[in-house]
Chains A and B, each alone.
Chain A
């Protein structure tokens, strides 16, 4: 099976702009989670989608949003970018149905906000 793919891999934006990141999960996986990774804060959970519904949400401001499509592909949007949003954004898919199983991570999108 193909792994989790994320596009784009690298992105440079300026403050105030918005950005949309895309994630394609492993075929058959219905759960997609998003994480922000920074050197100072580590891996922080943003949100999880399962069958097009947001099932869990981390402690991030409303500028961070996401959605999932019927084919399980997911997008994450950040509006009004701030310098502190510079990070590696990781998407992970899982075959979880009602339980919790391992996360398969994509290569990430490196976002730089200038």
Chain B
């Protein structure tokens, strides 16, 4: 499997500010996804990051709040905008289509706390 890294690994932010999370893969992948995981909860898909086009957002998530970029086949960013304490969560990127396969792998996650 590929090496998937995320930056930052954790951050504490003030309400009203924005944070950009980076996801880097050491191999080209077809798809990149962004998830949110609240403590003790399952994985909630925020959006699919499409290379060269706008991301596809799930119900309840909007581009103004979670803008996403995917400039190439190995990198994506998720911005959490105008943060509130309710945005405190773990944010995970995930990739699929590595080396022609269709398995999905997760990055290590970014633990975000909003005060």
Asked if A and B are interacting partners, one says no
Name B residues whose Cβ lies closer than 8 Å to a Cβ of A: none
